[in-house]
């Protein structure tokens, strides 16, 4: 696995503990950035991903890993932060294209926090693992959103008074999950350190039925490789 070296310009890497953020972290290291990993504990029901983020940061040898508490449960409005069931079946035609697992303004909030830390670090670069291909229905995973936030950060901070402007790197934006799996394997990502399930079982195993589980399962199947987290018996 690629590990952090001593050089490179600092960049804030949003590290959720999921497979996408793991691949983005590996890309940032490969391209000689000095990653400052930022993990947000926002009250998500799948808080096991925080432990996954810590494992990833340790595995990659990340020197600066900030785990920030920013509780979104008082706001609610999502199956991940409120008492709303996590869907366990594909959305039917005619249903709301935005799934119940959408967390209101989550990526706007995350990128804002990343921008604040980047400004303090003297960095203008933020990495995020959004995918417009796999996250259709999530409005804060689109190219328009990424570009719009990039412009916002470049005009709304003290750092905006001096060049260069902020850049939001979203290297997985046009990749589906199978391509992300293949890229991660090329970069030496140990996917056993990652977590995807939105609604883990009581014993801590993935449910195998939520959107995140199905998407992950299809990605590994399409890539033709075994998922080290999901057993062969995990339902799809």
Q: What DSSP assignment string belongs to the chain?
A: -----S-SEEEEEE--SSHHHHHHHHHHHHTTEEEEEEEEE---TTTHHHHHHHHHHHHTT-SEEEEEE---TTT--STTTSS-PPP-SPPPTTS-SS-TTPPTTHHHHHHHHHHHHHHHHT--EEE----TTTTTT-GGGSHHHHHHHHHHHHHSSGGGGSSSPPEEE-TTTT--HHHHHHHHHHTT--GGG----SS--TTS---S-SHHHHHHHHHHHHHT---SSS-TTS--
pLDDT value at 125 more than 80: yes
Measured CA distances, 70 to 128, 172, 227, 228 (Å): 18, 25, 31, 30
Contacts with 64 (C-beta within 8 Å, 6 or more apart), sequence order: 35, 36, 37
Q: Residue 229 pLDDT > 50, yes or no?
A: yes
Question: Nearest Cα to 125, choosing from 156, 164, 152, 173?
Answer: 164
State the average pLDDT over residues 142-147.
96
What pLDDT is attached to residue 7? 63
Query: The whole model's pTM is what?
Result: 0.92
Using H for helix, E for strand and C for coil, what is the string for 37-98? EEEEECCCCCCHHHHHHHHHHHHCCCCEEEEEECCCCCCCCCCCCCCCCCCCCCCCCCCCCC
Domains and CATH numbers, the chain: 9-194 (3.40.50.620)
pLDDT at position 159, please?
Answer: 73
**Chain centroid, CA 154 distance in Å:** 22
Q: Could you tell me which residues are beta bridge partners of residue 205?
A: none
Which of 87, 64, 72, 83 is CA-nearest to residue 40?
Answer: 72
Contact 107, 127 (CB under 8 A): no
Residue 136 has pLDDT above 80, yes or no: no
pLDDT in tens, 46-99: 889 999 999 999 999 999 999 999 999 999 999 999 999 999 887 777 678 899
Task: State pLDDT tens for residues 165-213.
Answer: 899 999 999 999 999 999 999 999 999 999 999 999 888 889 999 999 9
Give the model's pLDDT for residue 227.
Answer: 95
Structure tokens at 15: 């590290």
Confidence of residue 3 (pLDDT cuts 50, 70, 90): low
- 229 vs 27 pLDDT, higher one: 27
- Residue 230's pLDDT is what? 75
The yes-or-no verdict on residue 1 having pLDDT over 80 is no
Q: Indicate the pLDDT class of residue 235, thresholds 50, 70 and 90.
A: very low
In this model, does residue 233 exceed pLDDT 50?
Answer: no
Mean pLDDT, residues 108-118 taken together: 97
pLDDT at residue 236, as a whole number: 42
């Amino acid at each position: 696995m690629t590990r952090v070296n001593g050089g490179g310009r600092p960049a804030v890497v949003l590290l959720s503990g999921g497979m996408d953020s793991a691949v983005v972290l590996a890309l940032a290291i490969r391209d000689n950035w000095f990653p400052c990993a930022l993990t947000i504990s926002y009250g998500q029901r799948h808080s096991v991903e925080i432990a996954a983020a810590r494992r990833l940061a340790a595995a990659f040898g990340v020197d600066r890993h900030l785990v920030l508490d920013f509780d979104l449960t008082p706001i609610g409005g999502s199956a991940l932060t409120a008492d709303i069931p996590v869907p366990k079946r594909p959305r039917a035609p005619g249903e709301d294209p935005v799934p119940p697992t959408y967390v209101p303004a989550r990526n706007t909030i995350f990128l804002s926090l990343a921008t604040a830390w980047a400004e303090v670090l003297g960095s203008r670069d933020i990495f995020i693992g959004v995918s417009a291909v796999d996250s259709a229905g999530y409005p804060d995973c689109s190219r328009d959103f990424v570009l719009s936030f990039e412009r916002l950060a470049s005009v709304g901070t003290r750092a905006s008074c001096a060049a260069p402007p902020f850049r939001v790197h979203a290297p997985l934006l046009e990749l589906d999950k199978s391509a992300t799996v293949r890229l991660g394997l090329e970069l030496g990502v140990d996917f056993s350190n990652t977590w995807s399930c939105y609604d883990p079982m009581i014993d801590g195993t993935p449910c195998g039925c939520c959107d995140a589980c199905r998407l992950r399962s299809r990605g590994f199947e399409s890539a033709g490789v075994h998922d080290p987290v999901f057993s062969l018996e995990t339902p799809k």
